[in-house]
A and B are shown apart, each in its own frame.
Chain A
Amino acid sequence: MGKKMEELPQYKQFSEWIENRHDYAKKWKQNNGGKVVGYICTYVPEEIFYAAGVLPVRILGSHEPESITRPYLHDMYCPFCHDALAQGLEGRFDYLDGIMLAQSCLHMRQVFFTWEERCGVDWSYYMEFPHGVNNPHASEYLRSLLEKFKSAVEEWTGTTISNKELDEAIEIYNRNRELMRRVYELRKSDNPPITGLHAMEMVVSSQMVDKREHNEVLESLLEDLQDVEVDREIGTRLMIVGSEDDDREFFRMVEYEQNYPATFVFEEHCTGARYFWNDVKPEEDRLMAIAKRYVTRVPCPAKDWPTKTIQGRRRFNWIERWAKEYNVEGAIIMQQKFCDPHELDIPALRELFDKLGIPHLFLEFDITVPVGQFRTRVEAFLESIGEEDLFI
C-alpha cells in the first residue's frame, strides 16, 4: 500500500520550510555563522553568494492585505512588489544582512531602492544585469558585471572566492536543478504522483533554504515518489503560465476543491520551471559559465525581446515544448496585476495557445486571490474543455 504525497515527510518538510522561512534563516545564521542575503528576482547569481558562504533567500510576500507601501510605491506597481516591500517595512526580514537585485523590472527596482533606504540593511548591491539577454554580447557583458559583483561579495564577507568554492556551489545548484527536473519529469505520466501544489511547494522552498539540505530531501523524495499512491482523479491536465506566483490557495482550490477534476502538470513561472530549468555548464572561466547560464535560461518576459538573430520570443519556444511534452490540455495564464513585461506578451501568448489548439483562461491576481470568483471561472473553463464529453 503506497503512501499519499501529503504524508511523505519530504513534502511536509517543504511546507514547513515555507511556513517557517524566517525561523529557518535565523537558525541557519546561528548554526553556520554566515550571512543571509535577500533577493527579489531570480536573475541573482546565487552561486556566487553560496560560494562565499552566504545564504541567498528569496523575498516573497505574505498574501495579507497591507497599506503601508502606498507612501512609497506607485499604486500601479504590481501586488507582488507591494507585498514584498511590506514584509521589509514590517520588519519580517530583519535578520537579513544584505539585499541584492540583479536588474529586472522597474517595480522590483523601486522595491530594492526603497528597501535599501527604509528597511535597515547593512549591505546592498544593485547589479545592472543585461535586459537584452537575446543579444550575442550579453554573456560577455554579464561576465564583467559578475567579476565586480564577486569582488563586492568578497569585500563584504571578508573572504576570497576561489574556483574550488565556485565549483562546489555550481555543483550543488546544478544538482538541485537536476533533482527538481527529475521530479517534474514524473509529471509527464498519465497519473502524475504530485500535483501543482506539491511542485510549487518544492520549488518555493528551494528558494528559501540551503540548497545542500534541499538536495538531500529531494533525493529521498525521488525514491519515495515511486511508491506514492495517487488517490485523486487527475482530470484535465493544466499548465500555468505567467508572472511570479507563490499563492498556494489558488492551486489548492483548482486541484482539490472544485467539482471538475484538474491537475497542474507544469508551472511556467519564476517560482516554477523558469527558476531551475537550466544548468550552469562548467567551463574553465567559471564566471563566464555562470553568465551564460543566466543569459540563456528560460527568460522572463522582461528580458525576452528581439535582436539581430532572434525575432521571436525564446520563452514561447519553451512553453510550446513543455505543453507538448507534458500533454497539456488547458492553460491558465496567471497574470500578476500590473506586471508589464507579462502583460506585453499576453496577446501573443494567447495566439500561441490558439495555434497549439490548447484552450486557455486568463486570470489576473492580486496580493490576495478572490477564490470564490476564480472557482467559478475555472470551473466554467474546465467545463468548456470537457464540453464534447457532455454530448457523448
Chain B
Amino acid sequence: MAKEFKIEPLKVWDDFKKYREKYYRDYLEAKDNGGIRWAGSAWAFDAVPAGLGEDVYPLTGEPYGATVAFFKDFSLQALEAAERKGVARDLCGYLRNYWGSIILDKYVLADGTIVEGFPKPDFNYTIHICCTHAKWYHRAGELEGGIPTYAVDISVGPGYLLDDKKIDYVVRQLNDSIEWMEKVTGREYDDELLIKAVYAEADSMTTWAKICKLNQNVPAPLEEKSMFTLYALLVLHRADPRVAELYHKLYEETQDRVKRGIGAISNEQFRFLTDNPPPWAFLNIYRYMEREYGAVSLGSIYTFGLEGAWLGMDEKGERWIWEPAPTPEEAGVEITNREEALRWTAEYNLRYRPGWQHPYSHKIRKLETLQMIRDWKADALIMHINRGCELWALSELEVRDYLVKHGIPVATYESNMADPRDFDEARTWNVIDSFMESLGRKKLSKQ
C-alpha cells in the first residue's frame, strides 16, 4: 500500500494569481496615468528600464504568447492571422501568438478576456541569444507602425568561460540602452531606481532557486504544473521589489511544508522531471500523470533554470552545481552607482542563468540534466520535443541519448509549447502509458 501524504493548498497562491492579473491590466491601462510601456523578451534586462520611473510597465512576450496559447480559440485566430501575413509556421510559437495579436489588434488578459486594441509599447527592449528575440520585436515594432527597438547582444558564451571583455561588451550595450531610452521616452533616468531593481531582480531569482531546491524533498512540496504559475512572476517582472517579496513568502511557506511533510500530491509514488516549456494548452498531462500513476513532476531545467539563478558549471567546466547563486548581499557586494548596477546585472545573469549556459554545448546540458535527475531523486525524465522553440530543442536529442546511456529512463513526445495544432493528445497519452508500463507501473485506476 503506497504511503499517503498530507496535502494543503498553497496560501500564497492567490497572491501570485492576482499579481499576474494586475500585471496585464496595468500594462493595458498604463497610458491612462501617463505611464510608460515597454515590451520585450522575458529574458530582457528587466531592471534597466526601471530607472525610467515608478510608472513603467513591461509586457514580456514569451509569457504573453503562452497566455494566448492557453486560450486555444484565440490562439488559433492569432496563429492564422500571422500565417495570412506570410509568417512561417515553424517559427517560435510565442512569437506567432504575439504577432498574431498585433495583427488582430486584440489583447488578452490573464483571465482570457479579449480586449479590442493591442496596446502599443513606447519602445521594445530585449536581449538576443537565439535566432529570434531581436528580430521578433523588430518586426513587432514595424507591425505597430514604427515602435523603436533596442536589443542587447548577450551571445558571449557560458558563464564559466566569462571574462572581463565579454562582460564589458554587454555592459557597454546596457549603458547605450539607457541613453537610448532617455531619448525615445524623453525621460530622465534615475540610477537609484535602477539599483533598487537590480537588488530585487537578484533577490527574486535566487529565492526562486532556493524554492526549487526544496523540491528535492520527499514528498515534493510543489509540483510542476503549479510551479508554472509560481515561476511566472519571474518572467513577468522579476526586478519589481513586490515580486521579490512574494517569492520570500513562497519560500517561507514551502520550507514550512517540507518541515511538516506536506506534499504536492497525496499519492507520490513516482518522481519525474521534464526539460522544456510544456504545451501550454495541454497542461492536463501533468494531472493525468498524478491521477493515473501517482507521478509528480518535480520541475525541469526549464522551470528551475529559465529564471532561477544557480551556480551552474564549476570553474573547470566539469561539473554542474545545482546550488542557488548568491545575491549581492550574500556575495558581500554593495551597489552604489549605475556602472556597478549594470555590471552586477550583466554578470549575474550571464553567469548564473542556466538558460543562458546550456545553449553553448551539449556537454553543459547533459551534465546539468543528469545532475538534476540525481539531486531531485527522479525516477525518469519526460522530454517534450518542442516544435515551438528551437533554442530549447538545441542538444535535446543528444541529452536523451546521454541519459539513456546512464540508465535513466526517458520518454519523448513531440508537440509545440504554443501552437495547439501540433499537439496530438491521444498519441501523447499512449506514449506516457507505454512508458510507464515499460517501467512496471500500473494505472492506479486499474489496481
Residues from chain B with Cβ under 8 Å of A344 in the complex: 91, 131-132, 135-136, 139
Q: How far is the CB of A285 from chain B (nearest CB, A)?
A: 15
Complex alpha-carbon distance, A176 and B415, angstroms: 47
Interface size range on B against A: 35 or more
Q: Contact: B177 with A106, CB < 8 Å? A: no
Q: Take A113-B362, A311-B149 as given contacts and tell me if A141 and B165 are in contact as well, using a CB distance cutoff of 8 Å.
A: yes
Residues from chain B with Cβ under 8 Å of A72 in the complex: 397-398, 401
**Which of B11-19, B81-89, B286-294, B426-434 lies at the interface?**
B81-89
Is residue A301 within 8 Å, beta carbon to beta carbon, of the partner chain?
A: yes
Residues from chain A with Cβ under 8 Å of B391 in the complex: 106
Complex alpha-carbon distance, A130 and B165, angstroms: 12
Q: Contact: B172 with A137, CB < 8 Å? A: yes
Q: Can you name the residue of chain B whose Cβ is closest to the Cβ of A69? A: B397
Is residue B395 within 8 Å, beta carbon to beta carbon, of the partner chain?
A: yes
Q: Contact: B128 with A103, CB < 8 Å? A: no
Residues from chain B with Cβ under 8 Å of A144 in the complex: 165
Question: Quick one: which of B136, B180, B359, B394 has the most chain A CB within 10 A?
Answer: B394
Within 8 A of A (CB), among B137-186: 138-139, 141-142, 148-153, 155-157, 165-166, 168-169, 172-173, 176-177, 179-180
**Which of A57-65, A164-172, A270-278, A335-343 lies at the interface?**
A335-343
Q: Contact: A131 with B398, CB < 8 Å? A: no
Question: Quick one: which of B179, B385, B390 has the most chain A CB within 10 A?
Answer: B390
Is residue B232 within 8 Å, beta carbon to beta carbon, of the partner chain?
A: no
Q: Contact: B151 with A74, CB < 8 Å? A: no
Q: Contact: B394 with A109, CB < 8 Å? A: yes
Complex alpha-carbon distance, A126 and B157, angstroms: 10
Residues from chain B with Cβ under 8 Å of A338 in the complex: 90
Contact digits for A117-137, partner B, Cβ 8 Å, 1 yes 0 no: 100000000101111100111
Q: Can you name the residue of chain B whose Cβ is closest to the Cβ of A145? A: B165
Q: How far is the CB of A364 from chain B (nearest CB, A)?
A: 8
Complex alpha-carbon distance, A59 and B360, angstroms: 21
Complex alpha-carbon distance, A374 and B177, angstroms: 46
| Interface residue from B134, B151, B156, B390 paired with A76 (Cβ < 8 Å) | B390
Is residue B396 within 8 Å, beta carbon to beta carbon, of the partner chain?
A: yes
| Interface residue from A106, A129, A348 paired with B131 (Cβ < 8 Å) | A106
Complex alpha-carbon distance, A242 and B218, angstroms: 54
Within 8 A of B (CB), among A327-355: 337-338, 340-341, 343-348, 350
Complex alpha-carbon distance, A76 and B415, angstroms: 12
Residues from chain B with Cβ under 8 Å of A117 in the complex: 362, 398
Complex alpha-carbon distance, A347 and B157, angstroms: 31
Q: Take A113-B362, A130-B155, A135-B173 as given contacts and tell me if A306 and B134 are in contact as well, using a CB distance cutoff of 8 Å.
A: yes
Q: Contact: B90 with A348, CB < 8 Å? A: no
Is residue B411 within 8 Å, beta carbon to beta carbon, of the partner chain?
A: no
Q: Contact: B85 with A307, CB < 8 Å? A: no
Q: Contact: B176 with A345, CB < 8 Å? A: no
Residues from chain A with Cβ under 8 Å of B148 in the complex: 306, 311
Q: How far is the CB of A266 from chain B (nearest CB, A)?
A: 23
Is residue A237 within 8 Å, beta carbon to beta carbon, of the partner chain?
A: no
Is residue B361 within 8 Å, beta carbon to beta carbon, of the partner chain?
A: yes
Q: How far is the CB of B223 from chain A (nearest CB, A)?
A: 28
Complex alpha-carbon distance, A239 and B141, angstroms: 28
Is residue A138 within 8 Å, beta carbon to beta carbon, of the partner chain?
A: yes
Q: Contact: A110 with B394, CB < 8 Å? A: yes
Complex alpha-carbon distance, A135 and B359, angstroms: 22
Q: Take A76-B393, A131-B153 as given contacts and tell me if A343 and B85 are in contact as well, using a CB distance cutoff of 8 Å.
A: no
Q: Take A76-B90, A308-B177, A344-B135 as given contacts and tell me if A106 and B130 are in contact as well, using a CB distance cutoff of 8 Å.
A: yes
Q: Take A109-B394, A131-B128, A305-B135 as given contacts and tell me if A348 and B142 are in contact as well, using a CB distance cutoff of 8 Å.
A: yes
Q: Contact: B396 with A74, CB < 8 Å? A: yes
Q: Contact: B398 with A114, CB < 8 Å? A: yes
Is residue A73 within 8 Å, beta carbon to beta carbon, of the partner chain?
A: yes
Is residue A71 within 8 Å, beta carbon to beta carbon, of the partner chain?
A: yes
Q: How far is the CB of A353 from chain B (nearest CB, A)?
A: 12
Q: Can you name the residue of chain A whose Cβ is closest to the Cβ of B156? A: A128
Residues from chain B with Cβ under 8 Å of A341 in the complex: 131, 135
Q: Contact: A113 with B361, CB < 8 Å? A: yes
Complex alpha-carbon distance, A73 and B85, angstroms: 29
Complex alpha-carbon distance, A306 and B138, angstroms: 7
Within 8 A of B (CB), among A305-332: 305-308, 311
Contact digits for B344-371, partner A, Cβ 8 Å, 1 yes 0 no: 0000000000000001111000000000
Q: Contact: A340 with B153, CB < 8 Å? A: no
Is residue B37 within 8 Å, beta carbon to beta carbon, of the partner chain?
A: no
Is residue A222 within 8 Å, beta carbon to beta carbon, of the partner chain?
A: no
Residues from chain B with Cβ under 8 Å of A308 in the complex: 150, 176-177, 179-180
| Interface residue from B131, B134, B165, B385 paired with A340 (Cβ < 8 Å) | B131
Residues from chain B with Cβ under 8 Å of A311 in the complex: 148-149
Complex alpha-carbon distance, A290 and B157, angstroms: 21
Residues from chain A with Cβ under 8 Å of B390 in the complex: 74, 76-77, 106-107, 340
Q: Contact: A306 with B130, CB < 8 Å? A: no
Complex alpha-carbon distance, A135 and B177, angstroms: 11
Is residue A221 within 8 Å, beta carbon to beta carbon, of the partner chain?
A: no
Residues from chain A with Cβ under 8 Å of B150 in the complex: 306-308
Residues from chain A with Cβ under 8 Å of B210 in the complex: none
Q: Contact: A306 with B149, CB < 8 Å? A: yes
Is residue B238 within 8 Å, beta carbon to beta carbon, of the partner chain?
A: no
Residues from chain A with Cβ under 8 Å of B142 in the complex: 348
| Interface residue from B155, B169, B387 paired with A103 (Cβ < 8 Å) | B155
Complex alpha-carbon distance, A113 and B395, angstroms: 8
Is residue A217 within 8 Å, beta carbon to beta carbon, of the partner chain?
A: no
Question: Quick one: which of B129, B131, B150, B151 has the most chain A CB within 10 A?
Answer: B131
Q: How far is the CB of B423 from chain A (nearest CB, A)?
A: 15
Is residue A105 within 8 Å, beta carbon to beta carbon, of the partner chain?
A: yes
Is residue A230 within 8 Å, beta carbon to beta carbon, of the partner chain?
A: no
Residues from chain B with Cβ under 8 Å of A71 in the complex: 397, 401
Q: How far is the CB of B56 from chain A (nearest CB, A)?
A: 19
| 23 interchain pairs, CB-CB under 8 A | A71-B397, A76-B90, A76-B387, A105-B131, A107-B390, A113-B395, A114-B362, A130-B153, A130-B155, A131-B153, A131-B155, A132-B151, A132-B152, A136-B176, A137-B173, A141-B168, A302-B131, A305-B128, A305-B134, A305-B135, A306-B150, A340-B131, A340-B390
Interface residues of A (CB under 8 A from B): 71-77, 103, 105-107, 109-110, 113-114, 117, 126, 128-132, 135-138, 140-141, 144, 301-302, 305-308, 311, 337-338, 340-341, 343-348, 350, 362
Beyond A106-B130, A113-B398, A308-B179, 11 extra complex contacts between A and B, CB < 8 Å: A73-B397, A76-B90, A76-B387, A106-B394, A132-B151, A306-B141, A306-B150, A308-B150, A340-B90, A346-B86, A347-B139
